[in-house]
Each structure stands twice: as C-alpha cells, then as structure tokens.
Amino acid sequence: MSNTHRSHRRGTKSAAGRLSLAGAVTGAVGIAAVTAGIVFLRPGGGSAEPSLAGRGDTGALARATAAAPKAGPPVNFTTPEGYGYTLAAVKAGTGRQPLGATQAPPSGTTYAYADYILTNNQRRPVRLDFPADLFMLKARIPASARERCVPQVGIPDRMCTLPNHSKITARLDGAKPPVDDGGDTMIPAGASYLVRIASDLPVEDDLSAGGLRLYVWNARFTSDRKGIELAFP
C-alpha cells in the first residue's frame, strides 16, 4: 500500500491550488505503508490515475538506512505555516525505469530523473512535501510531449518541466520513517531522506545529465515565485 502525489505544474495560479495546505498530502499513510515505501504523485499530471502501489522499489524504507551521499550546497526553505526543509541535490540522469516504471518508453526515448536530500531542519515534525521540481532542455523533449513541458518564471527559457512524480528511496543516517498523524504524513524532527523525482513522459535518449536541473519555484516555498536552483555537487 502506498499513497501517490503527482506534479504537473502549469503556472502559479493552478500551483497555488494544488499546494494548498489541504492538498499537500493525498490520503493517510499508516505505519504499514511507510515501511513498504512511499510514492507521491502531484495532482494534475494528466488524467486521474490510480495509486502506483507496487511500482518500482517499494521496500527501500524497510531496509537498513544508508549514509548520506555527496550533495551540492544545501538550501533552506520555510512554508507559510512555519514548516522548515533543507534540500540538497545529489545527481541527475536518465533511465528506462528510474522509479520502476512498468511501461517501457518508446524506442529512442528514456525517462529523466534526479535525486536530492530532503531534511526536516526543525525540532518538531513537519508535513512531508516534495518541494523540488525537475527541469530539462526543451530541445530534448519529443514533439509529442513538448506541449506538456511547462516553463516557469525565473528559470531559463530553454528549460521546462514535464509531469513527474517523487518517491522516498532511502532513509539517511538512521532517520526514522515518516509517520501518520491524524491523516497527515509527517517527517520526524531532524530526519533526512533520499528522494528521487522522475518524469512521467519520456525524453529523447540523448538527453545528458548536464541538460537536467532541480529547481524550487512554487510560491509555497519561494516568496518571489522565482525558481531557486539546487546545484549538483
């Protein structure tokens, strides 16, 4: 069992609705779901889809925790309700099944992904959220998906973001798993997780890691609504 949360950001007006306090977490995640792994899909990524339970590596949170990988400069973010997060980019790349996708991409295409560290930088639990968005070069988007690739203010015009979803793939440095608190999924104080964000639509298979970037741009996390880049190491 796992809950899902999909990202398809088409602008600040629709993003504000999707990232409202009431919609920040879809459904409740029990302890059994947490130990089985968590996949979140942000609303609006095309047609309404069922849960992605069973896709990919759903046992990551049940195994021993990993050491924190090498990462770029950490950046702090605070939400209007006072939740604090620290994000640091780890790596980016492409793959045919970066999150265990069950449908192989068409010939000549692949999926884009990036990994980053998500940390609750406070001494109290905060709501589980995935602030980072994956951007890629427009020139490497197949014509069939180009209209789904959305630019954002403050991010280079040559880059855009496709519908995507995020998944916690590991607990870092002994971090406790997320917990359910009255229907909200919360990150324990000080806990860090490795998160992977992957595109739901394919990109051309010659897209390199250098053509991928992580940005935090939504008004929930940035006061001026301009993208803040998470630099890779």
Give 182-193 pLDDT, tens digit per residue. 888 999 999 999
The token duo for 217 is: 């741009």
Longest dimension (CA), the chain: 48
Calculate mean pLDDT across residues 98-114.
Answer: 88
In a domain, 37, yes or no: yes
174 lies in some domain: yes
How many domains, the chain? 1
Instruction: Give the mean model confidence (pLDDT) for residues 67-72.
Output: 96
For residue 43, what pLDDT is reported?
Answer: 33
Would you say residue 1 lies in a domain? no
Domain that holds residue 39: 6-230
Query: Is pLDDT above 90 for 127?
Result: yes
Q: How much is the pLDDT for 102?
A: 62
Asked if the structure places residue 158 within a domain, the reply is yes
Mean pLDDT throughout 29-48?
38
Q: Of 132, 122, 111, which Cα lies nearest the Cα of 40?
A: 132
Task: Assess if residue 167 is contained within a domain.
Answer: yes
Let me know if residue 51 belongs to a domain: yes
Give domain status of residue 65, yes or no.
yes
Q: What share of the chain is helix, strand, coil (3-state, %, to 5)?
A: 15, 35, 50
With a pLDDT cut of 70, the percent of the chain lying above it is: 72
**Is 31 contained in some domain?**
yes
Give the pLDDT mean for 187-208.
Answer: 96
* pTM check: above 0.85: no
Which of the pair, 63 or 136, is modelled with greater confidence?
136
Mean pLDDT of the chain: 79
